[in-house]
A and B are shown apart, each in its own frame.
Chain A
């Protein structure tokens, strides 16, 4: 038997993949030489071996397997093979999405406007509240002053002091001094000081030294109602009250002759 015939006897077993390693290596080396007879015979042997599949008992694969395999293939098919999808609008974004975006923008603008409006309203309310608080404090102060005035005017402990004008044509000014509540100065038909000057109250102590006190001026009707809560001198050490015309803001020492003077004794 020639070497070629020996290899021919191995072809069917090689097609079965039943050769042991050494025989398979030798045969493959021979086939690598390009022996046309063996190559053709091997192809026929492979075909013959494939027919052994029909020895398998008939069996039917499940419909589920078929569905699974075909579903996978369809999913992997190119777009051309897939069912055509409904035509879309040119924007590729559905109109309802644009409507939603527009609504969102409008809502955003409205929210911003509303927030700013609310901020302005809050600021206005705060401002109004501050003004009302100021007004309330002012009213409370006025109420307190009025109470003091009423107390001073009615309390028997208050000492009535007549402050006489140097000019007999001028009206008299009256002061009531309460040892604890202070001094309340009143007057009527008092002329308004000229040249932006003001009227200033002085407490003249027993040693003759003038102590500066409140600065004030009459209202449009010439009325005076000035409350001195904390007079610089006590009643017992004060000899007289005097009123001068002073520059705006008042002075530490009198700059003019007193226009009104009243003894405290």
Chain B
């Protein structure tokens, strides 16, 4: 139910992301164009937030979408909805870039990378556009304490581990673990309530 409430629903006249991805397997450029227009903004915003540099962010976004175009078969709709899969892919790619992974290593991963399942295919119960989704997430995270929010952002946007965050914030490791877990659980409850 949690996932169902958050997964976007498209009208009858609009193809779902999963349908468009299937069309990518047939080298349908129009389907690819629709997917790019739907999701390039949030992907770019995420990558730019991680890398803090527009030119590098565009390079990574290009890599992400061309990976989708060239390896659409890597996405399997029975392992979860498309957008979280795409955002996970973009985050991993951006963090790899942030860690200055070698180009050769990243290319090797292009060919072998298989993202873990995110969720089973949910029943779509409610449509939620990108703008409302962003407002709700920001609102819920905004209720957290500043250090709690900071710890979550450091983990997500900077790819730091519990220990690294504790060192950076000069806080006990247990405290950092609690901040992150409790913050995420509050986000989860808030999203369920809001739906």
Chain A residues proximal to chain B, CB less than 8 Å = 9, 12-13, 16-20, 40, 42-62, 65-66, 68-70, 72-74, 76-78, 80-81
Chain A residues whose C-beta falls within 8 Å of the C-beta of B136 in the assembled complex: 54
CB-based contact B137/A54 at 8 Å = yes
Report the Cα distance A68→B63, complex, angstroms.
Answer: 11
Q: Which residue of A lies closest to B37 (CB)?
A: A66
Chain A residues whose C-beta falls within 8 Å of the C-beta of B169 in the assembled complex: none
Our count of residue pairs bridging A and B at CB distance below 8 angstroms stands at: 161
| Residue tally, chain B, CB below 8 Å to A | 64
Shortest CB–CB separation between residue A191 and chain B, in angstroms?
A: 114
Kindly supply a per-residue 1/0 record for chain B positions 149-167, scoring 1 wherever the CB is within 8 Å of any chain A CB and 0 otherwise.
0001101110111110100
Known contacts A42-B116, A65-B61; 9 further A-B pairs (Cβ under 8 A): A18-B155, A18-B160, A47-B3, A50-B87, A51-B137, A54-B133, A58-B45, A59-B41, A60-B41
Q: Which residue of A lies closest to B177 (CB)?
A: A13
Tell whether B20 is near chain A: CB-to-CB under 8 Å.
no
CB-based contact A72/B66 at 8 Å = yes
Tell whether B22 is near chain A: CB-to-CB under 8 Å.
no
Chain A residues whose C-beta falls within 8 Å of the C-beta of B33 in the assembled complex: 70, 73
Shortest CB–CB separation between residue A142 and chain B, in angstroms?
A: 97
- A interface: dominant SS: helix
- B interface: dominant SS: helix
CB-based contact A13/B29 at 8 Å = no
CB-based contact A12/B29 at 8 Å = no
Chain A residues whose C-beta falls within 8 Å of the C-beta of B133 in the assembled complex: 51, 54
Q: Which residue of B lies closest to A21 (CB)?
A: B161
Shortest CB–CB separation between residue A140 and chain B, in angstroms?
A: 91
A43-B119, A65-B58 known; A54-B184 Cβ under 8 A? no
Shortest CB–CB separation between residue B156 and chain A, in angstroms?
A: 4
Tell whether B18 is near chain A: CB-to-CB under 8 Å.
no
**Which of A18, A47, A49, A68 has a CB less than 8 Å from the CB of B62?**
A68
Chain B residues whose C-beta falls within 8 Å of the C-beta of A74 in the assembled complex: 29
Chain A residues whose C-beta falls within 8 Å of the C-beta of B165 in the assembled complex: 18
Report the Cα distance A68→B40, complex, angstroms.
Answer: 13
Shortest CB–CB separation between residue B97 and chain A, in angstroms?
A: 15
- Chain B residues 1-59 with CB under 8 Å of chain A are 2-3, 6, 27-29, 32-33, 36-37, 40-42, 44-46, 48-49, 58
Q: Which residue of B lies closest to A75 (CB)?
A: B29
CB-based contact B181/A52 at 8 Å = no
Chain B residues whose C-beta falls within 8 Å of the C-beta of A51 in the assembled complex: 6, 84, 133, 137, 187, 191
CB-based contact B69/A49 at 8 Å = no
Report the Cα distance A61→B162, complex, angstroms.
Answer: 32
CB-based contact A73/B117 at 8 Å = no
CB-based contact B41/A48 at 8 Å = no
Chain B residues whose C-beta falls within 8 Å of the C-beta of A16 in the assembled complex: 155-156, 180, 184
**Which of B40, B162, B187 has a CB less than 8 Å from the CB of A48?**
B187
Tell whether B106 is near chain A: CB-to-CB under 8 Å.
no
A18-B161, A52-B152 known; A47-B32 Cβ under 8 A? no
Q: Which 3 A-B pairs have the closest CB atoms?
A: A56-B49, A50-B84, A54-B134
CB-based contact B40/A13 at 8 Å = no
CB-based contact B120/A73 at 8 Å = no
Tell whether B75 is near chain A: CB-to-CB under 8 Å.
no
Report the Cα distance A52→B61, complex, angstroms.
Answer: 18
CB-based contact B180/A18 at 8 Å = yes
Shortest CB–CB separation between residue A27 and chain B, in angstroms?
A: 13
8 sample A-B contacts, Cβ–Cβ < 8 Å, listed by A number: A20-B163, A43-B120, A44-B3, A45-B184, A47-B6, A55-B49, A68-B62, A73-B69
- A16, A47, A54, A74 pick with most chain B CB within 10 angstroms: A47
CB-based contact A46/B88 at 8 Å = yes
Tell whether B126 is near chain A: CB-to-CB under 8 Å.
no
Q: Which residue of B lies closest to A51 (CB)?
A: B137
